[in-house]
Amino acid sequence: MKRDQAKFWDPYAGGMALGLVLLATYAMMGKGLGASGASFRAGVAIVHAITPKHAELVPAMASTLEDGNPLDDWLVFEVLGVIVGGLIGAATSGRIAREVSKGPTFGTSWRLALALAGGVLMGFAAKLARGCTSGQGLSGGALMSVGSWAFMLSVFAGGYGMAYFVRRQWR
């Protein structure tokens, strides 16, 4: 069977599948999906392994450590699943490749620097907003939370506002 790497699901079919996964999660667990919460827990685990005293002094880290191992959490298991699911999706469509996605004329090291910088901004922002595009935007948005909709509109405002300045990395 020939695999077409550029062939993706129809956006509406994909969106419906995503919505049903979210609905099933609400129904079973009483909460939605997430991502950045697991990133924070991984970070707390790293800091705690290096300097446990410091981790216990920082309030946000200490409250995560109160319940025991920061990695023993629902969201961490969910994100492990996301990684496995992403791997299966890519492997079965011939899309696994070690590469850097960017425009053809943009430098690789600059692209990686921007990926890191953007990641740092998003990690900070997701903690501030109590969730990222998954945990706040998608999961709170489908429940019609006012905060989630304000968050989502702000994400688009921030993205559109900044898009012009980083357009070269996609060219």
Residues 130-159 that bind another protein (CB under 8 A): 130, 132-134, 136-159
Binding-site member from 1, 2, 25, 48 for another protein (CB under 8 A) = 25
Binding-site member from 52, 69, 71, 118 for another protein (CB under 8 A) = 118
How many residues are given for the chain? 171
Query: Which is nearer to another protein, 1 or 12 (by Cβ)?
Result: 12
Q: Could you give the string, one character per residue 36-55, with x where binding to another protein holds by CB under 8 A and - elsewhere?
A: x--xx-xxx-xx--------
Instruction: For residue 37, give every residue at least 6 positions away whose Cβ sits within 8 Å of its Cβ, in sequence order, or none.
Output: 73, 75, 131, 135
Q: Which of residues 53-112 bind another protein (CB under 8 A)?
A: 58-61, 74-75, 77-90, 93, 95-108, 111-112
Nearest distance from C-beta of residue 53 to another protein, angstroms: 14
The tokens for 158 are 């921030």
The tokens for 44 are 């707390």
Matching residue, tokens 């004329």: 105
Using CB atoms within 10 A of its CB, is residue 64 exposed (0-12), middle (13-18) or buried (19+)?
Answer: buried
Nearest distance from C-beta of residue 25 to another protein, angstroms: 5
Nearest distance from C-beta of residue 66 to another protein, angstroms: 14
Binding-site member from 1, 22, 51, 70 for another protein (CB under 8 A) = 22
Q: Shortest CA distance to 146 belongs to which of 136, 160, 135, 155?
A: 136
Contact of 22 with 139, CB cutoff 8 Å: yes
CA 89 to chain CA mean position, Å: 17
Residue 116 phi/psi, 5-degree rounding, is -70, -50
Nearest distance from C-beta of residue 161 to another protein, angstroms: 7
Nearest distance from C-beta of residue 109 to another protein, angstroms: 9
Residue 24 is a binding residue for another protein (CB under 8 A)? yes
